[in-house]
Structure 1
Amino acid sequence: MSQLEKLTVSLYVHGRTSFIDGTHLNNNIISKMPYLHRLNFDIITEIVIINNEYLPTSDDVRRALIEKGYNVDCYVDYRGIERGRCHIYSVSFTMERMYVITNKFPDGIFMNVLKVYVSDSMHSLEYDFFVRISQAFPLLEVLTVLSTVNQQKPTNELDEYEQTFSIIKYSHLMILDLISSHIDYSKQFFVKASLPRLSTLEIDYEHLVNVTEDFTNNTARANCANLKNIIFRKKPRIVGKTFFTYFPLVLKINQVENC
């Protein structure tokens, strides 16, 4: 290991008493690999119980690496005064998948990322967050959104600026998983987004009925034109003819495994 020149690290860790931060990476990886000249990493620490009075900031987390010349970014979030979560990653991101754990995800451009998993059980994910996601991952093909927190500003209440740029384009998105999300996020994607290549959708059946207005809404229909696979949490007992008229390329419907 000490002879390595390049290293890629992807970690998801929970249940610690401190974040995996720049100091941790320097002391436990970088300092032990004298030949290392390229480090790519994507590290999340969640459910971190911090007993110190001082809660680390994003600057604290990345400082040790920035001082050594590494180009990194991170964001942190806290529930109450102790329980925290942190995501630190190299800006020259080479991996094809990234986990986004909170709506505090900052700006950036990640041309290599094709799959994104978004999860936030503490805060709502608003319109501007999804704008950042579409801009940060321009080649995104697979997106999972996991949040049961309703949006604070529904799609029909966007301000004048947001209305001007209201349609968010996901030009390459083919697979969208909303099956464990609040209905607001189904509305976000089918009313305020353009999904020209969407072919697989995971969603709650009742949410789909709602956002398509019982399979009559033309705006949502445009995003369903290329759908071939629809996966529901629970398969409906009966679907009417309008369902298959609305989704002309769908031959059968499926149910999430082990549901």
Structure 2
Amino acid sequence: MERFEDITNNFPGGLYPYVRIVSLYDEHPFEHEFFIRIAQSFPFMEKLTINNRYAQNQKESYKLINDKSNLSIVKYNYLIELYIDRAHDDYIEEFLCNTKTYFQNNILLDIHYKALERVTHNFTRDSTRINCMKVNELFLFGKLEYSKSCKDYFPFAIID
């Protein structure tokens, strides 16, 4: 099958090499370990949609662990489309921070402008800059005019 939709925290894992389109939905938070399991289960995933408005529970403990050691970085080698316009800021941070997530160049990113502004600290945050530079198409919701700092933060992106 090409699609696997509405995956929840109860997803047991497994290997699905033919799945290219994945959507995640839950009414409970997704933690970093869940994203590791998703990336391993769908190694050739090209499109990912996250629908979860609940904050991560282990975010603070993740920061403490990450400060003391190298926690696993989730790798999405084939991801080309990321839809996080219906996600809590924690998941936006999860994907945009290069200390948590790695993806190749040429990403289409679908996101709300205000959430992006918050997570990138008004387009000045260094830890999100690397992954944002990999975006080549940026679909922003909620604002008609974008700041120069936003355009500079996404130097290779066409902004719609």
Using the aligned pairs only, state the percent identity: 33
- Is the 8 Å Cα contact of residues 172 and 197 (structure 1) preserved in structure 2? no
Counterparts in 2 of 1:153 and 1:237: CA distance versus 1, 3 Å? same
Name the SS of the counterpart of 2:86 in structure 1.
Answer: coil
What is the aligned partner in structure 2 of residue 149 from structure 1? 54
- Is the 8 Å Cα contact of residues 138 and 158 (structure 2) preserved in structure 1? no
Name the SS of the counterpart of 2:54 in structure 1.
Answer: coil
User: What is the TM-score normalised by the length of structure 1?
Assistant: 0.56
Query: Which one has more relative contact order, counting CA pairs under 8 Å at least 6 apart?
Result: 2
**Gap regions ≥5 residues in structure 1:** 1-94, 254-259
**Gap regions ≥5 residues in structure 2:** none
Q: Partners in 2 of 1:163 and 1:144 — Cα distance?
A: 29
Matched, 1:251 2:158: yes
Q: Partners in 2 of 1:211 and 1:102 — Cα distance?
A: 24
Q: Partners in 1 of 2:159 and 2:105 — Cα distance?
A: 19
What is the aligned partner in structure 2 of residue 209 from structure 1? 117
User: What is the TM-score normalised by the length of structure 2?
Assistant: 0.88
Q: Partners in 2 of 1:251 and 1:172 — Cα distance?
A: 20
Tell me how far 1:198 sits from its aligned partner: 4.5
**Which has the larger displacement, 192-201 or 162-171?**
162-171
Q: Partners in 1 of 2:122 and 2:106 — Cα distance?
A: 20
Match among 121, 126, 138 for residue 230 of structure 1: 138
Q: Partners in 1 of 2:91 and 2:137 — Cα distance?
A: 19
What is the aligned partner in structure 1 of residue 87 from structure 2? 181
One-letter amino acid of the structure 2 residue matched with residue 195 of structure 1: F
What is the aligned partner in structure 2 of residue 221 from structure 1? 129
Structure 1 residues 94-109: aligned runs within 5 Å: 95-109=1-15
Larger radius of gyration: 1
Counterparts in 2 of 1:231 and 1:251: CA distance versus 1, 3 Å? closer
Matched, 1:171 2:77: yes
Q: Partners in 2 of 1:163 and 1:116 — Cα distance?
A: 30
Match among 15, 37, 45 for residue 132 of structure 1: 37
Structure 1 residues 2-151: aligned runs within 5 Å: 95-121=1-27, 123-151=28-56
What is the aligned partner in structure 2 of residue 195 from structure 1? 103
Deviation track 1:75-116 (CA, whole Å, cap 9, x = no partner) reads xxxxxxxxxxxxxxxxxxxx1111143101012111111110
- Is the 8 Å Cα contact of residues 106 and 137 (structure 2) preserved in structure 1? no
One-letter amino acid of the structure 2 residue matched with residue 138 of structure 1: P
Q: CA RMSD in A?
A: 1.9
Q: Partners in 1 of 2:104 and 2:55 — Cα distance?
A: 26
Q: Partners in 1 of 2:25 and 2:35 — Cα distance?
A: 13
* Count of residues paired in the alignment: 156
Q: Partners in 1 of 2:52 and 2:153 — Cα distance?
A: 27
Q: Partners in 2 of 1:204 and 1:98 — Cα distance?
A: 24
Q: Partners in 2 of 1:132 and 1:163 — Cα distance?
A: 20
